[in-house]
A = this chain, B = another copy of it.
Amino acid sequence: MSVVDFCFGRRLASDEQSGQKIGVLSGLPALGLDGLSSSAYGPEAALTIMLPLGAVGLNYILPITGVILALLAMLYVSYRQTIAAYPVNGGSYTVARENLGIWASLFAAAALMIDYVLTVAVGISAGVAALVSAAPQFHKYTVPLCLGILALITLLNLRGTGQAGAAFALPTYLFIASMFVVLGLGVAKSVSSSGHPHPLAAPPAMPAATASVGIWFLFQSFASGCTAMTGVEAVSNGVSAFKEPTVMRAHRTLTLIVVILAMLLGGIAYLSHAYQIGATIQDQSDYQSVLSQLVRAVVGKGWFYYTTMGSVLAVLCLSANTSFVDFPRLCRLIAKDDFLPRIFAAVDRRLVYAVGVLFLATASGLLLAAFRGITDRLIPLYAVGAFLAFTLSQSGMVMHWYKRMRESSKPEPKCSEGSSNGDQGQSKRGRASLHLKLWVNGLGAVATATALSVILAAKFIEGAWITVLAIPTMLTMFQLVHRHYLSVEKQIESADPMDVTHEEPPVVLVPIHCWDRLVAKAVRFGMLLSADIIAVHLSNLEGDAAEDEASQMRQLWAERVEGPTRGAGVLSPTLEMVRTPYREFITPLLQHIDVIKGRYPRRLVVVIVPEIVEKRWWYALLHSRRASRLRSALRARRDVRVIVIDLPWFIKD
């Protein structure tokens, strides 16, 4: 077993692809982690905004969560319809591509790509926030911890989704179970104490109010809290990862995810209010995440606390995996349409799109480093990307149903008389159903667009501008890539049959510095190509020394080459001398190539460079890399009449 196999698993054949597909129970961790784990940072993000209001702010968390849950419900219905209509990968990109045109789809693609990158960054930073809440001594290592976890996830994903999914199931279910225990217990205690439960471990006291309640705070808080919804689109983007019947399994998975998420969000909001738990500041060393305070308050700081926080850490960090599943698939779709470099479409030996995985890892790593792993600073960027993608996806679905309605209202060609009546009734019912679907997605589009406006207005200065700036940049890049591929295509495409007119053989040029087996091999190979072979001897000597060298070389050439060839009755390769006063190899050779091109203006010039190839790379340091240097120089000149052949000579150990 090779090191590569050990690290990345054995290679998989193309027809093994279906073996990697998932069901509902494995789909929940693989595609739901992102959505569920949003509960760990969404409510906290909303509460962080309330900090200046002091304890008063907690009164508003319940209504804000209510609005968020309503939006979530709308999204659920919308995405159910999307899954049914598009049981393939791509989500927003596919939907927008088919219904709103190429530019809207690229717009959605850019939004989604940014969204995936931020999902990774926020997931990991919030995970580390959970870790340092439970173990404050690690607070100062926030950034290295973030980057280390990112590296680990990347490695897991380079091994392929299947194995990754299996490794992620346990923490997900542990997280759901322990959160349900905590929330259930908390709610029971709260109800039994008429809404004033006694915390087992008291949360830090709320700071005094420094501002008074205003509509702006509520908008801001809602905008931040919306990040609790991020990730619910993951299922619709990854439908094809499911086993048959895909739509049913995807629907069930989505339902499960949304119901659990809603319960978590509702429970957290209710208990923060009941236990008077507010946010703390993540860059301060006494930071305590909201979840950490809540779990401590309900069950105390015992083994259950640590288990729960461990599962929070795990799901948050692994939620990044949702992106690692979908991002490369999305990039592949874009690359197949020639808007991203084609290498993104190349499936590697393990059936994952390694370039996409590595690109995602790099981008989110840079974000984590730039924002020092502080979740709250990433939230504004995140909310914009997510809601932009939501809005585009919903708008695309509206167009989709609209087109379907127009199609179905066209008079259909009647094939059989007998069924026409039933058909008409069915068609009527179908139209009504399409109408309803259009309205559902339309409402979704309006709701997410409204939320997006609120987020943009509330978060522009705090970082949303970065996302707003990134999208046109990415669109420009897509466009440049596409234009270039088109231009290349145009230049190389050919509908003509091959030109079979006679072509004169090339002139062969062999740069030499002495007579040895390499030169012999090169000249002999050249004789296969052409009868006109010119050996070029480069010398940096001056005066008499140069004369001596030249005459020696000429004599050697006469003995070793001209004699035998004349004897065999073939044209002798000629020897030409070239001076290199500046001790260079490339420049004088290029000049001499030009001389020869002038001499034979209609023929190709083939330069054969004999090159020593060592068995071990460190021995290669002992030799000059003339052949590859010459090849680069000739390529830089873009001379279609010159072709370099480097003839390897393999040195034995």
Q: Which A residues lie at the B interface, using CB under 8 A?
A: 11-15, 341-343, 346-349, 481, 484-485, 487-488, 491-494, 496-501, 503, 505-506, 515-518, 520, 523-525, 527-530, 540, 542, 559-561, 563-565, 567-568, 570, 581-584, 604, 612-613, 615, 619, 621-624, 635, 638, 640, 643, 645, 647-652
Contacts and interface: CB of A to CB of B under 8 A. Distances in A.
A500 B567 contact: yes
B341 A621 contact: yes
Given A492-B649, A497-B559, A650-B640, A14 B528 contact: no
Contacts of A503: 524, 527-528
Contacts of A527: 503
Contact of A498 (B498, B564, B584, B624): B564
23 contacts: A11-B582, A14-B581, A14-B582, A14-B583, A15-B542, A342-B624, A343-B624, A348-B583, A485-B622, A488-B622, A491-B517, A491-B651, A492-B649, A492-B651, A497-B559, A497-B561, A498-B524, A498-B560, A499-B564, A500-B570, A613-B635, A643-B645, A643-B648
Contacts of A604: 525, 528
B517 A493 contact: yes
Contacts of A540: 14
A612 B559 CA distance: 42
A501 B564 CA distance: 10
Given A493-B517, A643-B647, 4 more contacts: A341-B621, A492-B649, A492-B651, A643-B648
A356 to B, nearest CB: 15
Contact of A581 (B13, B498, B615, B647): B13
A649 B643 CA distance: 11
A638 B647 CA distance: 12
Nearest to A349: B582
A347 B582 CA distance: 9
Contacts of A563: 497
A622 B481 contact: yes
Contacts of A621: 341, 343
A37 to B, nearest CB: 33
A650 B622 contact: no
A505 B528 contact: yes
A581 B15 CA distance: 8
Contact of A520 (B491, B494, B523): B494
Contact of A638 (B347, B584, B650): B650
Contacts of A583: 14, 346-349
B15 A498 contact: no
Contacts of A520: 494, 496, 498-499
A560 B497 contact: yes
Given A14-B582, A622-B485, A624-B342, A500 B613 contact: no
B493 A516 contact: yes
Contact of A492 (B488, B518, B524, B561): B518
A564 B497 CA distance: 7
A14 B560 contact: no
B615 A638 contact: yes
